[in-house]
Structure formats: structure tokens, C-alpha cells
Chains A and B, each alone.
Chain A
Amino acid sequence: MEWGLDGAIVALLLGLAARILHTRDLFEATVLFIAFGLTLSLAWARLGAPDLALAEAALGAGVTGALLLNAYRRFADREEKAAPAVDIGSGEAACGAFPDASLRAPCDRVLRLRPILGAVLGILAAGFVVFLVTLPVRLPILPSMVADRLAETAVSNPVTAVLLDFRAYDTLLEMTILVVAMVAVWSMDREAPGLVRLAEEGPGEDAVLEALINLVVPVAGLTALYLVWAGASASGGAFQGGALLAGVGVLLLAAGIVHPVTAQTALVRGLGVMGLGVLVLVGLVVMVWTGSFLAYPEGTAYVLVLLAEGALVVSIATILLELFVDVPAVPEKDPTLEWVDPTGDPLGRSSDADGIPTSDSEEDG
């Protein structure tokens, strides 16, 4: 029970969040968000959840941070190209201040509601605290249930057992969400992969980058594989290992050593779907023996969990890498069109005299 340390971590979390929400600088927000993810990882460690600490550092700080860093510049680029000398700022600063109407931030009604919003949130916060303080203390049931049946799963890390055996269905749905994210991103309009290369000259010409890759890639790759293997008995698992592998991939991509992992290729799509496919297949096949979806028969749990984890790691690494490449791959804005929308229709569809919108396909840019 260490109030000082825990209090400091919570204060840091809330302070970072408040600063991120207050700042107007995109880069500051991105970097502080990465710091926030790492602090949250500390919090998980303090709460006795090392698997979560690993996952938060790898995914929450690492992958999300990489996504944000790769994408934030495109928010800034557009604003600067359009109005280089003017600070867009928040709604209240920009309301009505710009000659060019297309840059005017919405004069939000919300701004006028701010005192009401603050009061509502304050009441909610007070009610929240009262509720939390008066929670009845209950004896935990689930840890003992998990501990009793742990021997059946052939893994000794209870979190891995829950993820891949007791609640393997949740993991299946989680993989579905990742696949849906990949499909959603590849369905958006894309241009060439918008990854900014760190080394302009190419591999072999930037000594620092080359040294970094020579050192980091083997170690990180091995650590990732170890994390997956060790997840059976200690902290680790498929998600942490997959995220670390994605990080290795990002480094290789940034140096130009591998081709951009975009979802335009069938290989990437196949690898991304493979984890989900293996889980579904395993679930259906075991139905022949046990009659329930994903209910592993006696003695096969180890092999099936291993199989599932292997497929999951490949899929997770591929999907995370694909998201990193494809999310910022936005086509250039058509320079001949600056939308006029007198009817208030955001898609720019024209309307006839009654104000009834008609669709006009050649306006789409």
C-alpha cells in the first residue's frame, strides 16, 4: 500500500490528460499521449497486472503513438497549406475571424453550453465518487474459479488461460474487430502508401539508422517470439508479441528495407485474416468431439492453444503494420475544387428550387 507512489502516478495520468486536452499544438499532444501510455503502463504494473503493462506499452503507447506520429503531420499540413500565417486554434478563437469561410472552425453551440457541461460533469463526478466509496466489499469468486480449472488448460498463466481457453470466444471476436479495422481502412480511398521515410537515401546510407536496425531488429524480434512463448507460464502472450513484431516492422519500413505493407496485396490480406480463420476452424473442428464451439477436448488444450497463438501473432503483427501504412495514405485533395455548399449539404449535392437534394455524381472529388 503505497499512497505516495500511486498518488503520483494517478496525478501524472490526470495531469497529462488535462494538458493534452488543453494544448493546441498537435505535436505536443502526440508526444504527451505516448508519455501518457507509458505512465498507464506503470499504473498497470502497480495494480499487479504485468500482462496489461506489457500490452499497454506495446499497443497503447507504441502502436497508437506510431499511428498518431505518422498521421498528425497530415492534419498540420492541410491547415498550413491553406492558411499559413493563422492559428486555427479552437472554436472560440476562430469563430467568425477568418475571411476564408472554409477554414472557420464551427462556432459550436457547445461553447455556449460550457458552464452547463461543467456543472453536469461536476455532479456526475461527485456521484461517481460517492458510488465508488460506498461499493460493498464482495469476496472475489472468479479468481478461485479460474485457479481451480487452471490445470485443464495446460498453461499456467491465468490471464493467458482466460484469453485463449476459458474465453477464447472473446479473443475470436477481438480478432474480428482487428480484421474489420483492416477492411475498413482498406475500403477508404487510398493513394500510394503515405509512409514518410526516415532515411532519404535508402538502406545502407544512413549509418545511425543502419546501426539501430542491426541492433534492435534481432533483439526485438527474439523478444517478441519469447513473449509469445513465455505467455503460457509467465507474463506475455500473443498480443504483446504481435505488437512488438509490428514495431520491428515499422522500423524496417521506415528504413525502406521492406515494401510498404499495404492491404492492396492478397498476401497481406491473407495473413491478416489467418488468425481469425484458424480460431474459427479450431472452434468448428472441436465441435465434432465436444459438441460446443471452441470447447477443447481433454488433453488437446496445449496443442490447440499453441496453434491459435501462432496464427494470432502473425495476424496481429500484419494487421497492425497494415494499419500503420494505410491509415495516412490519403489521396491529395483535388486542387480545382473547393466545396461550395449553400444548402448545407456536406457532400455538395446540388438541390433544385425546393431545396430537395438531387444527387450529382460528377461533383464528387
Chain B
Amino acid sequence: MSIEKIICIKVMMKVITYAANEIAKFNEDYRKKLEGLSDIIEWKVGKDLNFYTEIKDGKISSGEGIKQNPTLTFEINDLDLALKLLTGRENFENLGEKAKIIGDEKKREKFSFILDTIKEYLGDLTT
């Protein structure tokens, strides 16, 4: 796996978490939606990159490694695809068979507003 892509994925996971929390400070509608969630999303990227995103009490935290009992797990083998998703250049709705989703896929719709809102604020920064 390309070290550059691995670095970018690690950085973007942190960036999305930070951006998501920052937006909650000034976007009331978004903050209210976030406060209604209590979930763990697991990310398995490439051969051995594992991340988690936890949404709890209106805040988002993330880290490397595995958390127990995730609400949803995304398995994305292709690092380029992972980067496109994390930078908003590809949508989760269009994944099809390119990624494996373990868990109730309808729950993905619950979280989609987070990345959609981040993309709204950052769209022309990384696209």
C-alpha cells in the first residue's frame, strides 16, 4: 500500500472528525441532528487499516483500532476509493459493490448528513 495514501487516509479521518465537531459549534440544525445519535461506525480500509468513529452526546470522536459492537462497518479495499469518499469526491450512495457494508444499511442514511454537511462547507477545498 502506498505510504502517501495511508498518510492521507489517516489525516482525513482526523480532519473529518475535527470538521464535524467544528460545524456543530455554529450550525444549530446540524448540532441538533448530531445530538440525536449514539453510534459507532467502523472503517476497515485496505489490508490492515482500522478506524472507528463514535458519535455520542453531540460529539464525534475517532481513532485507529477497533471498537466493540459497531452500528455499521464499512470495508473498503481500494485506498483510492477510500480517499475519494473521505474527500467528498465519491458518494456512499454510489458505492455498489465497491465497498462492503456490514450492518443495517438503512442506518447509513442516518449518518449521511454529517459528510454531506462537511462537504457543503469544504466542497471546493478538496474537490
Q: Real complex partners, A and B?
A: no
The chain A residues found within 8 Å of chain B, CB to CB, are: none
